[in-house]
Amino acid sequence: MRGFWVNDALEESPLSADAVLDVSGLTTRFSTPDGVVHAVNDVSFELRAGEFLGVVGESGSGKSVTMMSLLKLIPMPPGHIDAGVADFGGDDLLSIDAAALRTIRGGQIGFIFQDPMTSLNPVLTVGKQLCEPVMLHTGADRKGAKARAIELLDLVGIPDAAQRFKNYPHELSGGMRQRVMIAMALACEPKVIIADEPTTALDVTIQAQIIDLVKDLREKLNTAVIWITHDLGVVAGLADRVIVMYGGRIVEQSPVAELYARPEHPYTQGLLNSVPRIDQKGGELTSIPGQPPSLLSEPTGCSFAPRCPYAFDRCLIETPRLAAVDAAGEHLSACFWDTAQGRERT
């Protein structure tokens, strides 16, 4: 088979030199009473320094589990990471010991969760929770940590930061709590921030505030961001590159403009056609027929094949791998069918 498979492409690509995080072959499963859930299957990607990587997928696509696996934030058991390497500055996140991982978690890699109400401790003031990582990871004393915490609250646009320092999470609104979460993730000047659906629980005008803040912070801080979402609209205005996941696999990966202008994978195409746009008059919505796959069976073939309008015999037997579809090797798709040419890829 010809074509640039992703791993070969990575070795040759000069861009991989500045990758801050290089994940390959990540496979995460959960052993449940109903059987083994194949949540993440052989996922490989890289995150480049300072870049904003959008990860798009529906529930059960494996987008959150992929990122949580990297920091071992999944419950183990029932979860187990069966294979994979995650190179972060020379360390393999998946094999280093717990103590080493602890210094990276919250230090060099920050995490922002979807629901700030359940991820903040309700019985501690936000100030106390902000000081904790600062003291732990930077060795600052109480006074220094407090000054840093107030500086951070100010940075994320919380008015009257010194007063808010003393507030408990329940005294803040949803948008303010998410700002506190962002401040916590930024506390130790991480190289990477992983944000898991950070605006999904928020109202649309508050989401716009948070996105505005994130754009502003990006310009100031130059931190690499992985932004997990189900909303194709949110990443369109934020990301440099986008990864699309389906059934525990990456099905497409591309620079943002290219992905929306020329989606290659039939799933990405279907997804873009099924969302209405606020700036366009409604026509018929083209829905994707069928249901998302059950992850309980060992995936054979392409997991999108049962819903795919282009599927043919090969899709049911063989699993397509991510391969470059453009000359630069930046746009990758995992599909045997070339929808533009209307023929099988060779």
Residue ranges that bind another protein, judged by CB under 8 A = 58-59, 173-176, 203-209, 211-212, 230-234, 236-237, 256-257, 260-261, 270-272, 274-279, 281-282, 284-289, 291-292
CA dihedral 224, 214, 190, 121 (to 10 degrees): -140
- Cα–Cα distance list, 41 to 118, 244, 247, 249, 258 (Å): 29, 14, 8, 6, 25
Q: What is the smallest separation between the CB atom of 346 and another protein, expressed in angstroms?
A: 29
Q: What is the smallest separation between the CB atom of 216 and another protein, expressed in angstroms?
A: 11
Nearer to another protein, 78 or 237 (CB): 237
Q: What is the smallest separation between the CB atom of 286 and another protein, expressed in angstroms?
A: 7
Q: What is the smallest separation between the CB atom of 269 and another protein, expressed in angstroms?
A: 11
Nearer to another protein, 140 or 211 (CB): 211
Nearer to another protein, 58 or 132 (CB): 58
Nearer to another protein, 16 or 286 (CB): 286
Nearer to another protein, 9 or 202 (CB): 202
- Cα–Cα distance list, 101 to 46, 69, 91, 93, 109 (Å): 19, 12, 10, 7, 10
Give CA–CA dist 228/183, Å, rounded.
18
Q: What is the smallest separation between the CB atom of 234 and another protein, expressed in angstroms?
A: 5
The tokens of 34 are what? 């109903």
Q: What is the smallest separation between the CB atom of 272 and another protein, expressed in angstroms?
A: 6
Helices within 91-241 (DSSP H only):
98-104, 116-119, 126-138, 142-155, 161-164, 174-186, 204-221, 232-236
Q: What is the DSSP string of 84-130?
A: EEEEETTEETTTS-HHHHHHHBTTTEEEE-S-HHHHS-TTS-HHHHH
Nearer to another protein, 292 or 329 (CB): 292
Q: For the sheet containing 91-92, what is the strand order?
A: 35-48, 19-32, 79-88, 91-92
Nearer to another protein, 287 or 341 (CB): 287
Give CA–CA dist 341/346, Å, rounded.
12
Q: What is the smallest separation between the CB atom of 319 and another protein, expressed in angstroms?
A: 21
The DSSP bridge partners found for residue 333 are: 252, 323
